[in-house]
């Protein structure tokens, strides 16, 4: 005997009683921390030394009078004037020197007259000596023939000796006269030299920074200089440098100079590195020649930025470099995995630091090494937008 089920019962049996249990939902993936990263790139880096000091002249020239005892009659230059080499700065009195010049001119004329008189005396003495010598020769020949007495012979020989002696005296007097003429000429040349030195001239081109001369004062080389010049108007910065930095400097390095209150940046060149270090301050000194001195004055305070070296190198932000027991390190990111890498650093310029060893251009590093990131962590690298 078979039993038939009603359709409603069939529907009921196919309901929840025979339904399958649904599967458990999958667990959500863990959220990785978003960490700022930066690419390792090549940058133009430079090493600079910061210094400051006072501006001073490269070379100071003091102008003194070359003759003394003469009053100052004129002053033709003043402080601030730019003068050329040989330009007259002051004029001294010539009155006493003109009198000496007239006196020596008269002495020279007298000496020349004495020379002429001496030359005439020499000619006369030589003529007399020649005649006496000829007479002595004739007398000697006649004596041999027995035609002249011994007395006449002796008289002729004595006359010849006397005439020759007068020649020697005349020649010596001529030498003395010529020496006197030379002496007077030297004295006259000395007066002419002193007359030329009554004009006080600039020995070099430059700018006058001080004038101590006054009209009416007696010129003297013992006191203060009449004028003080800056040779060619050249100025330099005498910059004080820490002893650890001064060994990195060398003549010829360029520098940028900033004058307080001025907007323009001046340029300069390291001219000289002084060879000593101050034992009290432990500072050395570099002298930097200023290219354009129109906006600076001696005594000004100036700051300098000296360029030691400049090159293009692999670099990372300075915040990306940390430190550990083994030295400088960075957190390198490869496919989201962080690894600590030891590096060798070089130049630091602004916000960048050179990586000598450990990284290559194109690598990615954590921007801030102090972030909460450890070796082996996985992160979500985020590159900050560039401005």
pLDDT tens-digit readout, 330-357: 989 998 898 988 899 988 888 899 999 9
**What's the burial of 5, exposed, middle or buried (CB within 10 Å: 0-12/13-18/19+)?**
exposed
Quick one: what percent of the chain has pLDDT higher than 90? 55
Query: What pLDDT is stored for residue 368 in this prediction?
Result: 85
DSSP string for residues in 111-135: HHHHHHHHHHHHHHHHHHHHHHHHH
State the chain's mean pLDDT as an integer.
87
Query: What pLDDT is stored for residue 24 in this prediction?
Result: 58
Calpha distance 211→81 (Å, rounded): 11
Calpha distance 224→63 (Å, rounded): 9
Query: What pLDDT is stored for residue 386 in this prediction?
Result: 61
Region 232-259: mean pLDDT is 93
pLDDT tens-digit readout, 70-87: 999 999 999 999 999 999
Query: What pLDDT is stored for residue 204 in this prediction?
Result: 94
**Residue 305: which of 247, 266, 262 has the closest Cα?**
266
Calpha distance 247→276 (Å, rounded): 11
Question: 17 pLDDT exceeds 70?
Answer: no
**54: which residues sit within 8 A by CB, 6+ positions away?**
237, 238, 299, 300, 301, 302
Query: What pLDDT is stored for residue 199 in this prediction?
Result: 93
Query: What pLDDT is stored for residue 145 in this prediction?
Result: 83
Adjacent-strand bridge partners of 61: 229
Question: 35 pLDDT exceeds 90?
Answer: no
Please give the model's pTM, rounded to 2 decimal places: 0.66
The pLDDT-based confidence of 285 (bands split at 50, 70, 90) is very high
Region 116-144: mean pLDDT is 89
State the residue for tokens 């203060």: 224
CA 23-29-34 angle, 5° bins: 165
| Residue 308 CA, distance from chain mean position | 18
Query: What pLDDT is stored for residue 351 in this prediction?
Result: 87
Distances (CA, A) of 66 to 105, 192, 194, 376: 23, 13, 8, 86
Query: What pLDDT is stored for residue 18 in this prediction?
Result: 42
**26: which residues sit within 8 A by CB, 6+ positions away?**
none
227-231/34-39 β-pairing: unpaired
Output helix, strand, coil percentages for the chain, rounded to the nearest 5. 30, 35, 35
Report the CATH architecture of 34-44+312-382: Beta Barrel (2.40)
Question: 188 pLDDT exceeds 60?
Answer: yes
Query: What pLDDT is stored for residue 376 in this prediction?
Result: 86
Q: Would you say 156 and 131 are in contact if contact means Cβ atoms under 8 Å apart?
A: no
Question: 1 pLDDT exceeds 60?
Answer: no
User: CA 100, 102, 106, 112 torsion: positive or negative?
Assistant: positive
Calpha distance 291→253 (Å, rounded): 13
Helix (H) or strand (E) holding 245: helix 243-246
Phi-psi category of 128—alpha, beta or left, where left has phi over 0 and alpha has psi -120 to 50? Answer: alpha
pLDDT tens-digit readout, 93-126: 999 999 999 999 999 999 999 999 999 999 999 9
* Greatest CA separation for the chain: 223
The pLDDT-based confidence of 307 (bands split at 50, 70, 90) is very high
Report the CATH architecture of 50-57+232-311: Beta Barrel (2.40)
State the residue for tokens 């030891």: 342
Calpha distance 63→360 (Å, rounded): 64
Q: The CATH number of 66-92+198-229 is which of 3.60.21.10, 2.40.50.100, 3.40.50.2020, 3.40.50.2000?
A: 2.40.50.100
Q: Would you say 345 and 355 are in contact if contact means Cβ atoms under 8 Å apart?
A: yes
Domain residues of the chain, as ranges? 34-44+312-382, 50-57+232-311, 66-92+198-229, 95-196
Mark 48-58 as b/e (b = at least 16 C-beta within 10 Å): bbebebebebb
């Amino acid at each position: 005997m078979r039993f038939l089920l009603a359709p409603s019962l069939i529907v009921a049996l196919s309901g929840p009683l025979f339904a399958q249990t649904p599967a458990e939902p999958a667990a959500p993936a863990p959220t990785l921390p978003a960490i700022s990263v930066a690419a390792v790139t090549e940058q133009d880096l430079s090493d600079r030394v910061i210094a400051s000091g006072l501006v001073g002249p490269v070379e100071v020239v003091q102008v003194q009078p070359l003759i003394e005892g003469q009053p100052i009659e004129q002053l033709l230059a003043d402080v601030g004037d730019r003068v050329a080499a040989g330009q007259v700065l002051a004029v001294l009195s010539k009155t006493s020197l003109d009198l000496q010049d007239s006196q020596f001119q008269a002495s020279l004329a007298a000496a020349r007259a004495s020379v002429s008189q001496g030359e005439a005396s020499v000619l006369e003495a030589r003529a007399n000596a020649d005649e006496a010598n000829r007479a002595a020769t004739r007398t000697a020949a006649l004596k041999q023939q027995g035609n002249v007495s011994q007395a006449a012979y002796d008289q002729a020989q004595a006359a010849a000796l006397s005439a020759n002696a007068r020649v020697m005296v005349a020649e010596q007097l001529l030498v003395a006269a010529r020496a006197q003429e030379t002496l007077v000429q030297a004295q006259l040349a000395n007066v002419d030299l002193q007359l030329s030195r009554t004009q006080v001239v600039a020995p070099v081109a430059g700018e006058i920074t001080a004038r101590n001369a006054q009209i009416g004062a007696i010129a003297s080389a013992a006191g203060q200089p009449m004028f003080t010049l800056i040779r060619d108007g050249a100025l330099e910065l005498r910059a004080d440098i820490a002893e650890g930095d001064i060994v990195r400097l060398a003549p010829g390095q360029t520098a940028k100079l900033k004058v307080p209150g001025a907007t323009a940046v001046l340029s300069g060149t390291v001219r000289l590195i002084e060879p000593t270090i101050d034992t009290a301050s432990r500072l050395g000194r570099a002298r930097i020649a200023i290219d354009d001195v129109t906006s600076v004055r001696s005594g000004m305070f100036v700051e300098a930025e000296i360029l030691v070296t400049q090159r293009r190198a692999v670099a990372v932000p300075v915040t990306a470099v940390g430190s550990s027991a083994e030295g400088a390190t960075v957190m390198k990111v490869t496919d989201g995995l962080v690894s600590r890498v030891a590096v060798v650093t070089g130049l630091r310029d602004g916000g960048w630091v050179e990586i000598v060893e450990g990284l290559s251009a194109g690598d990615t590093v954590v921007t801030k090494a102090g972030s909460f990131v450890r070796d082996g962590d996985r992160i979500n690298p985020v590159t900050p937008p560039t401005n």
